[in-house]
Amino acid sequence: MPSRRQFLGATATGAVVATAGCLGSFETGDDGPTTDESPTTSATTSAALSPGEQIQGEAESISTTETVTDDQYEYVEANDTVRYPATMSGGEVASYGYSTFEEWTEVEGASAGSLAVLDRLESRLESTASISAGIGTPDVADGLAVTVSYETLKNREGEVIEEPDVPVRRVVAETPHSFEATVEFAGRSETHSYPVFVWNTVLQQE
């Protein structure tokens, strides 16, 4: 199976979704959970965040520097691009793709951000059960953003079978407002900033 970095590199020029933590998938399966809720942005968090709403975190912003040393990546100075593993076959690289250095570092930085945000929540919340962090391109953000998913799972009868142990307002209060990542590779570096949103979502088994 491709590594997290391989997956992110292969999708650097399109919409990206990657998660860290529990319940990291929103894909629809025959027996798996589904959701038809589209995230919307709430103007205030004075009341509980309704299912389907998302809002930017309220805690102080955080930052990190990531130095990439994986030899599966190659910087091509002639056109300022990065070659990355695009497809895998039998555990080996079957083909390579190319992204501009700026696009590639943007995805790498967002990936580092999702992990750092989840680490921050794990250090400040009593539990992160049914809470995950990932990256994507929500309509409410210009470019990539880090998204914290506050996930409630219901069975076919609509009964809650899994839910977070902490209230959503607490998660919003402890989620960083934004994240800044500096990515270093091949003697070059690029810094990107990302907003961080909390998405209150309800999944239901079919």
Secondary structure (H, E, C), the chain = CCCHHHHHHHCCCCCCCEEEECCCCCCCCCCCEECCCCCEECCCCCCCCCCCEEEECCECCEEEEEECCCCCCEEECCCCEEEEEEEEECCEEEEEEEEEHHHHHHHHHHHHHHHHHHHHHHHHCCCCCCEEEEEECCCCCCCCEEEEEEEEEECCCCCEEECCCCCHHHHHHHCECEEEEEEEECCEEEEEEEEEEEEEEEEEEC
pLDDT digit string, tens, across residues 125-157: 999 999 999 998 877 778 899 999 999 999 998
194 compared with 45, residue with greater pLDDT = 194
Least confident of 17-26, 139-148, 171-180: 17-26
10 Å Cβ neighbour count for 167?
A: 12
Predicted confidence at residue 133, as pLDDT, reads 97
Predicted confidence at residue 3, as pLDDT, reads 35
Domain range list for the chain: 15-69+107-205
C-alpha 33: how far from chain center: 19
Instruction: Report the largest interatomic distance among the alpha carbons of the chain, rounded to a whole angstrom.
Output: 59
Contact 196, 177 (CB under 8 A): yes
| Mean pLDDT across 155-166 | 92
pLDDT digit string, tens, across residues 31-65: 444 444 444 444 444 446 888 889 999 999 999 99
Predicted confidence at residue 142, as pLDDT, reads 81
pLDDT digit string, tens, across residues 76-90: 999 999 999 999 999
Predicted confidence at residue 7, as pLDDT, reads 33
The structure's pTM equals 0.75
Predicted confidence at residue 48, as pLDDT, reads 67
Predicted confidence at residue 138, as pLDDT, reads 78
**Burial of 79 per CB tally in 10 Å (0-12, 13-18, 19+):** exposed
